[in-house]
A and B are shown apart, each in its own frame.
Chain A
Amino acid sequence: MLLFPLPHFPRFPIYSCSSSATKRRGTAMAAKLLSRLRQLDTRLISLQHQRPFFRNARLFSGQQIPSSDSHPSLPPTPTPTPLPPPSAGSAGEKRQRTSSLKDHELAKFAAISDTWWDSEGPFKPLHAMNPTRLAFIRSTLCRHFSKDPNVPKPFDGLEIVDVGCGGGILSEPLARLGATVTGVDAVEKNIKIAHLHADLDPTTSTIDYVCTTAEKLVEEGRQFDAVMSLEVIEHVADPAEFCKSLAALTRPGGAVVISTINRSIRAYAAAIVAAEYILHWLPRGTHQWSSFLTPEELVMILKRSSIDVEEMAGFVLNPLTGKWLLSDDVSVNFIAFATKKAEG
């Protein structure tokens, strides 16, 4: 029997039927690749019956996965990669891709909130990665908003929302850098933990943690100068809709920063096989390879929401020193900085 799940290729067309001529041209090569993949997929499907095959429609088809919840594309709590917490009963189970996808995603992370903040504990790689992604965010945001980076609080005056904030590992440094931060997460427990921890420091106690979703925030009409969504989009049921919500949350001329994992073979080896099965940094089943997005796809879906990706960088882990570095190699983890056109 297989020791770990084989990568599950998306089976349905990536691009929706309403494609224009320009899109058809651009997608010809991708379509050829997809058709080859689909053939491979059919063979795989026949091997693994328990793998339901409609979950692939995530990317662009616009089909909603039927869900009992009224907010189908709820962004669940993010797990940054790689992340090794004590898992709660998710070892080795094959997930049912049903309408309770959201619940499953949420349940995965609720169990691990307690150990979020121990920087030498199970979340050590996340804490190690945090300064690197903050360095990227700091330099891109300072450049975009013309802020002086050589001051301790360069983000003074900026309103930032952290969608899928988890325990607040990203929100707190942003607040210390001077921003007015709103942290949003769908799991109540995470918000509680984040709140508790943020209150320890007067600088971070001003963070507004809300247990809600991006869609609800859009409905409330909130808007922010910068929208952060790190390591969330690979857990979302419908990334295209999610990106539309992120875009709606951004003011014109504002910035969006998204980080996720590339859908490449290297990422499969690193983020799933190595992180989940060999090193046990993450509970098995945290990530699904088919939910990963390639940089090109991310750029496309953001473009559809009128957000232009301006910069992209990869994160590379040096296994000897345990340090994360920014690099041009986007084949595993990558982060993208994008902007919304200013009005007029």
Chain B
Amino acid sequence: MNRLVVRRTLYSNHHQPKCPWKRGFCSGGEAAAAAPASSASSGQLNHKDGSFAGDDQPYDLAIVGGGMVGMALACSLATKPLTKHLKVAIIDSNPALANKLSIKREDPPDPRVSTVTPATISYFQDAGAWQYVQQHRHAFFDKMQVWDYTGLGYTTYDARDVYKDVLGCVVENRVLHSSLLSRIEDTDVQKTIYPSRLASMIRYPSSSVKADDNTREASYIKAGLVKLEMSDGSSLYTKLVVGADGAKSQVRNLAGFKTTGWNYSQNAIICTVEHSVGNHTAWQRFLPGGPIALLPIGDNFSNIVWTMSPKQASDLTVMNEDEFVKAVNQAMDNGYGPHPKSNFSNGSNKFSFLGGNLTMSTNESFEVPPKVVKLASKRAAFPLSLMHANDYVAKRIVLIGDAAHAVHPLAGQGVNLGFGDAFTLSRIIGEGVAVGTDIGEVSLLRKYEAERKPANIAMMAVLDGFQKIYSVDFGPLNVLRAAAFHAANYISPLKRGIISYASGEQRLPIFP
């Protein structure tokens, strides 16, 4: 009973001329004039008007963007009893949605990976999609070591500090995506995919117009709905538009949401590398140009995320593979500065008065990451920026994931914020359906915004703070940073707090 239906036909009874003036957000008046005559009867309002014929029944939700976050929302809605009856349309021109790519274990890992936090893992488990992730390559890690080029200090985090088994799991993006798709296929919920890009969006205002005007009828019959027009000419009506289309969100632009943010003058290089031995720890070293992270991906492979200035990034991308491997090994080992001295605690810790048990990882000595043996994928570079939409919701429109916020990858939190958005929105929609609310109602959507915005902003502030602090090479500041490393390493309550915030167990950095 798989119900992923792909629509490719045009709808002749809703032929919309592609006028340039119709791009963007327009109010109902002009659209009413341009809309084809509905087949509703004239003059009076009937209970059942015939303006939507056959297939064109309005959808409950239209998810624009079928990436990881968009599909997470669809999957979560499909697996809950209160929301699985909702008619959902997914708009994405990615062919991977319609024909699922099979991911073979022998393939080397794709360089686009994400670190999913335990909180995200539990969301996936609730939705029943984690079982599919486990069938592919994935790597849990329980230790993390963070240090910088000055060699003045380091911090080791261990999952056992917070009495857990894992700090996180590194999974390829395509694995996450296909697991969500598999889960959706499991349920017999009907989802319709529109394989094209969004061209324009028209929101009909809900009007209290008098009922005796014929020409107006078309507009307020459709009032309370949003009309989405695709680039291939098809269109659909929906009660709620979810913008999950990434950092350059079309939904966000069309709806006119304002954003705040700035570009970091940094690019990130990502690639997959291979070791001769297995790697089960996440390593991050802050270099003068930006952090380099080595994340285990499983089967002796690791993923590199190396942030640096655009010039250096282009240099490193074009240099030959052996040179690149040497550069990586230097960056993780002796390049740019010495190793930090290992801490050997002499039994009593001067910070033990702050209470709590001493974390296990306080006594761990500094370890050198495993050497990279060869490059296992192409190198890709992309620019980094911070972006935050001032509002996440408007009438009948809501943004989730990167469309609402984009962060620096230095803590692997970006997609976890997006998954948090998706699963929270799905829960809020479920609560709305439970009391019969119209799901496009802005008061319901504001609840989602009130829950996610503070958490997202707090995380963004923390990450931006880190990025700024580490972008300056200044003696006293270096010492301060080293002191911060020591503090995080020795002050156990602080370390536990950091781990639980980064794992998603704690929503806000200061007030839990």
Contact = CB atoms under 8 A, between A and B. Distances in A.
Given A119-B441, A152-B83, A206-B47, A197 B206 contact: yes
Interface stretch (B154-162, B431-439, B466-474): B431-439
A162 to B, nearest CB: 12
A114 interface: yes
B4 interface: no
A200 B224 contact: yes
A200 B396 CA distance: 14
B435 A202 contact: no
Interface in A199-257: 199-202, 205-206
Nearest to B433: A152
Contacts of B48: 202, 205-206
Interface stretch (A65-73, A101-109, A171-179, A277-285): A171-179
Nearest to B40: A199
A138 B435 CA distance: 7
Given A117-B206, A206-B47, A176 B443 contact: no
A114 B49 contact: no
Interface string A93-134: 000000000000000000000100101100010011011001
B156 to A, nearest CB: 40
B220 A200 contact: yes
A124 B441 CA distance: 12
A8 B73 CA distance: 55
A128 B443 contact: yes
> For this complex, into which size category does the number of interface residues on chain B fall?
20 to 34
Contacts of B380: none
Interface in B425-483: 431-438, 441-443
Interface stretch (A34-42, A74-82, A188-196): A188-196
A336 to B, nearest CB: 19
A306 to B, nearest CB: 30
B82 A150 contact: yes
B84 to A, nearest CB: 8
Nearest to B446: A120
B211 interface: yes
A95 B422 CA distance: 52
Contact of B223 (A127, A131, A200): A200
Contacts of A265: none
A196 B436 contact: no
**SS class, residues of chain B in contact with chain A:** loop
Given A119-B441, A193-B208, A196-B45, A174 B224 contact: no
A3 interface: no
Contacts of A205: 47-49
Point out which of A138, A152, A173, A193 has the most chain B C-beta atoms below 10 A from its C-beta. A152
B436 A175 contact: yes
Contacts of A138: 434-435
Contacts of B431: 131
Nearest to B222: A200
Nearest to A197: B206
B6 interface: no
A135 interface: yes
Contacts of A176: 433, 436-438
B434 A199 contact: no
Contact of B438 (A177, A199, A201): A201
Contact of B437 (A114, A131, A206): A131
Given A152-B82, A152-B83, A205-B48, A134 B436 contact: yes
B435 A135 contact: yes
Given A120-B443, A152-B82, A196 B208 contact: yes
Given A192-B211, A195-B45, A202-B48, A150 B81 contact: yes
B100 interface: no
> For this complex, into which size category does the number of interface residues on chain A fall?
20 to 34
Contacts of B487: none
B60 to A, nearest CB: 10
B80 to A, nearest CB: 9
A119 B435 contact: no
Nearest to B450: A321
B436 A127 contact: no
Nearest to A118: B206
Interface in B213-266: 220-221, 223-225, 239
A103 to B, nearest CB: 24
Nearest to B435: A134
Nearest to A176: B436
Contacts of A130: 435
A130 B441 CA distance: 13
B8 interface: no
Contacts of B83: 152
Contacts of A128: 443
Contacts of B45: 195-196, 199
B435 A131 contact: yes
Contact of B436 (A119, A173, A199): A173
A47 interface: no
Point out which of A128, A175, A200 has the most chain B C-beta atoms below 10 A from its C-beta. A200
B354 to A, nearest CB: 32
Nearest to A155: B436
Point out which of B47, B58, B221, B431 has the most chain A C-beta atoms below 10 A from its C-beta. B47
A145 B500 CA distance: 45
Interface string A156-185: 000000000000000011111100000000
B208 A174 contact: no
7 contacts: A120-B442, A149-B434, A176-B436, A192-B211, A195-B45, A202-B58, A206-B48
Interface of B: 45-49, 52, 57-58, 81-83, 85, 206, 208, 211, 220-221, 223-225, 239, 431-438, 441-443
**Pairs A-B, 3 closest by C-beta atoms:** A173-B436, A176-B436, A200-B224
Given A173-B437, A199-B46, 17 more contacts: A114-B208, A131-B437, A134-B435, A134-B436, A135-B435, A150-B82, A152-B433, A173-B435, A173-B436, A174-B436, A196-B208, A197-B208, A199-B47, A201-B224, A205-B47, A206-B47, A206-B48
